Amino acid sequence: MPNIVKTTTFPGLLDLVAPHYCRGCGHIGEPICNRCKKYILNSNPNLCPICKKPNPTGICSNCSLPPTYIVGKRTDLLNAIIHDYKYNSVRALALPLAEMLNTRLPDLNGNVVIVPLPTISRHIRSRGLDHTFLLAKKLAKLHSNFKVSKLLQRNSNTVQVGSDHKTRITQANKAYKINPKINIKKDTTYILLDDVYTTGASLKSATEILKKNGVDKIVLAILALSILD
Ligand SMILES: [Zn+2]
Ligand SMILES: [Zn+2]
């Protein structure tokens, strides 16, 4: 596998000097080269996030989830790229991450709306980047029938990091609400987009709210499945 280029000493500084070096092999040109993108996609099957089994169709017969598409496990190179994108605010990684996620998605016809799971506003301010929203915009640009909508809003700024499993699930149950300014459309597929699946509590909560408000076609799209929990 490609070695991960270390950027931990001066994160951000290296990006100012040479923003477009491949995080996998160091090759200058793109933030992740085609060879390393292929490596990530080929070394990860689409997985069911609940039973963790390969799930080529996105629909697991054993687990009750909407069709779910994931780039891969949050390890090695994929983990390094997501970290660099999210915490070091490397915007140039949004497109290649969107492209990799796009290769997992089935053909979705008709109206498609991508709903990014809302990031805590304090994190957006401190990072200078709403990473899930930017990812949604890049993914939408790859299809003429995709749009992005900030349909979900956070109820309160509860933080998941460090909370135990039970607390996280309780917090997630009341984490989101529907944006009152946005109407839900009939005959539309809604893609719920998140960066990392850990307990699944956030996506479960988001799915339930959409269902309660009359959405019947939901697809989950996730960059990575955390294998730590
Ligand atoms: Zn590379
Ligand atoms: Zn399953």
Task: Find the 23 Cα to ligand 1 centroid distance in Å.
Answer: 6
Task: Find the 111 Cα to ligand 1 centroid distance in Å.
Answer: 35
- Is 48 strand, coil or helix? coil
| Residue ranges covered by each domain of the chain | 46-225
Question: Largest Cα–Cα distance in the chain?
Answer: 50
Q: What pLDDT does 157 receive?
A: 52
Listed as ranges, residues in the chain with pLDDT below 70 are: 1-19, 157-173, 228-229
DSSP H/E element including 193:
strand 188-197
Task: Find the 26 Cα to ligand 1 centroid distance in Å.
Answer: 6
Name which CATH class applies to 46-225: alpha beta
SS percent in the chain: helix, strand, coil, step 5: 35, 20, 45
Q: Shortest CA distance to 192 belongs to which of 216, 174, 218, 217?
A: 218
Q: What pLDDT does 175 receive?
A: 84
- Cα distance between residue 5 and residue 40, in whole Å: 15
pLDDT tens for each residue of 144-190: 999 999 999 998 755 555 666 666 655 556 789 999 999 999 999 99
